[in-house]
Structure 1
Amino acid sequence: MSKGPGSALLPQTPGSRRPVPRSLSCVSDLDPRPCRPPGCDPRLRPIIHRRARSLPSSPERRAKAAGAPGAACGAGCNRQLRVRFADALGLELAQVKVFNAGDDPSVPLHVLSRLAINSDLCCSSQELEFTLQCLVPDFPPPIEAPGFGDRLARQLVCLERVICSDLGVSGTVRVSNMAFEKHVAVRYTFSEWRSAHEAVACWRGPEGAGGAEDIFAFSFPVPPFLLDLGSRVHFAVRYRVAGAEYWDNNDGCDYSLTCRSHALHMPRGECEESWIHFI
């Protein structure tokens, strides 16, 4: 039998283990000797550790490190950081770059191209010509066509005009005021009607005597691949009112827009005055 401090006499038998300590620090003071009898549980390993205290703040750590007796600078020694300026080491505080008169300046490419255009304009009195690719309607403005009022009276909905720009396609639609609630939309396709999309038109205001007609405005974006020459957009206008549906599809041919080359002429004076905006 063995006797520990502050404990009663306990009989010791072969293979018996000491009681598991109840401290939360560690279970490391178990009997390290292996269990010889068969069927005994394997030796336990320490799995519970005491949670470390929160580290003090930086001033407190420095104060404790400075006042700790016999603190030698070892592998885990915390050294105080120091800042040194370049002039204290005999170095220059600033770096000076000297440019020679023969060195070429670094000018952006778009500025050089604009300067080249200006030099051509100075030597020529002709206008500058640019070639752009944009969508162009394949039909004249419907509102300017003869018989527009008769078409509107027959179809109850007619496309007025279309405007193409870099932001997309926009336009206006005129409908007969059949009821207060109306729904106007433009159905368009980029793939010859293999797939289609719709853009809802917004009411802009009344038109005609006594508000007999209404104006709706629409717009939809154009994907970049349609800026290739020959690309086409087809669309038609749909008008829903009083439970009925009416269409304006250009008399069954659909309205179409084709990407074409467009020449843009810019006067010489305007180019010379606006070159600064390209920098």
Structure 2
Amino acid sequence: MSGASGAPRARKPAPRSLSCLADLGGGSSPEPGPRRPPGSAGCAPRLRPIILRRARSLPSSPERRPPGAGGQGAGCRPGCSRQLRVRFADALGLELTQVKVFSAGDDPAVPLHVRSRLAMDADLCCRGPDPQFTLRCLVPDFAPPVEAADFAERLRRQRVCLERVTCSDLGVSGAVRVLNLAFEKQVSVRYTFSGWRSAHEAAARWRGPAGVQGAEDVFAFGFPVPPFLLGLGSRVHFALCYRVAGAEYWDNHDGRDYSLTCRQHALHLPRGECEESWIHFI
């Protein structure tokens, strides 16, 4: 403060850096070195390089977020939240809708057992207490060979003989018995859907020994049946081949071939069981 009221106030000198004071001789310099003259560039603040840091990326979309990440970021403190970004498909150049055109050839083929159960449920409203249904399936044209009286004699003569055969929606399966002539042996079934104009062959698998002291072996075979062969009157023929010790033996039902024919099969079911058949479609 000045003594006179109208006199201007004296402005305090601006503080100088330590380097400037050292240059003026007002004190000892903390770092030894040549003195700079007053008013030189040494009084200016020392320049430091500017460090550029890369900005953090924006929050990723929910589908690209690592598993286990919640609404808060990895470095977020409790109580803070990070805003989520919502991106639509059209903003990314994607289509909003997808159109699928089906043709008549794309219709699924309904299995026979499904159609049969649907027919059962449809007939429940117009049938009596004990409804009778008809199923279309393959039926063997021969009796089970294993039940014949001359089965053992045929096996000794042919070395290979069919035991029994079973037909279902999955195809045809059966069992074959052969004489144990050697350790290495092959059993296969040759079948046709066109009266032997074309044929297919499937290998049978060993199921276990049979007979006295393992003198015989049992093989199991199976092959699929196409759905278009389930028309009435369609027939499937097959024969069995046994290869062992460089020889080949056949069982073709004494030259007539084993045959299966598609026929109507009557089925009697209690009404209570039919009413609960809908549960198979859940």
Equivalent residues of 1:114, 1:275 under 8 A apart? no
Matched, 1:187 2:174: no
Deviations 1:230-265 (Å, cap 9, x if unpaired)? 111111000000110000000000000111111111
What are the equivalent positions in structure 2 for 1:89-238 lying under 5 Å apart? 117-120=123-126, 124-125=128-129, 127-238=130-241
Matched, 1:264 2:267: yes
Name the TM-score, length of structure 2 as normaliser.
0.56
Mapped to 2, the partners of 1:257 and 1:271 lie a distance apart of 29
Q: Which amino acid aligns with 2:149?
A: P
What are the equivalent positions in structure 2 for 1:42-81 lying under 5 Å apart? none
Deviations 1:39-71 (Å, cap 9, x if unpaired)? xxxxxxxxxxxxxxxxx9986xxxxxxxxxxxx
Name the TM-score, length of structure 1 as normaliser.
0.57
**Number of matched residues?**
173
Change (3 A) 1:117 1:144: same
Matched, 1:254 2:249: no
Change (3 A) 1:265 1:160: same
Change (3 A) 1:132 1:114: closer
Which secondary structure state, in structure 1, belongs to the residue aligned with residue 142 of structure 2?
coil
Structure 1 residue runs of 4 or more that deviate by more than 2 Å after TM superposition? 56-59, 112-121, 272-279
Tell me how far 1:120 sits from its aligned partner: 4.3
Mapped to 2, the partners of 1:276 and 1:234 lie a distance apart of 37
Query: Percent identity at matched positions?
Result: 72
Which secondary structure state, in structure 1, belongs to the residue aligned with residue 225 of structure 2?
coil
Change (3 A) 1:131 1:185: same
Mapped to 2, the partners of 1:231 and 1:174 lie a distance apart of 28
Change (3 A) 1:241 1:117: same
Tell me how far 1:228 sits from its aligned partner: 0.5
Equivalent residues of 1:135, 1:164 under 8 A apart? yes
- Across the aligned residues of Structure 1 and Structure 2, the Cα RMSD in angstroms comes to 2.6
Unmatched 5+ residue regions in structure 2?
A: 1-54, 59-84, 88-117
Which secondary structure state, in structure 2, belongs to the residue aligned with residue 247 of structure 1?
strand
Unmatched 5+ residue regions in structure 1?
A: 1-55, 60-80, 84-111
Larger Rg computed on CA atoms:
2
Q: Which amino acid aligns with 2:136?
A: Q
